[in-house]
Chains A and B, each alone.
Chain A
């Protein structure tokens, strides 16, 4: 049980870091709406629209680190089998 929790903690942290890097290593807040800009040639204005998407940010990493920490910490409370 102790080992399982520690492996899970490491897996959560690694998966979160991997996803964060794969989605562009965004150092800001997590984005769930992706902004698109479309130029309007006649007026010179730029239209803005949003579509659903997911770009994890620092808060996502923090949440994952917290979850991993709780699991790793919990493993210390599990008694070894004698």
Chain B
């Protein structure tokens, strides 16, 4: 089980990188997560997650060409590695197996409502 470690936020980042395909860099990832999940993401949280994922070899990065905008600073684009893909699949499988194991009664709406009140 220790083989693939992927935190919740890390998983979201991986998925977003995959969605954005060739165009995944800091700002675009941040915006994509913000628009899809409706939550705000700080640059710090995102960058540290990206760094961690890169250290785990789940992501690879390369610098784009410097352009006029962004005061000439290059964009760093991210790509999912094959290890990263395995980690994502692993996460998905784990999750699915957990879903499958839930007895149907525990998702009964009445129960949930009662719990709330």
A and B together in one complex: no
Interface residues of B (CB under 8 A from A): none
Interface residues of A (CB under 8 A from B): none
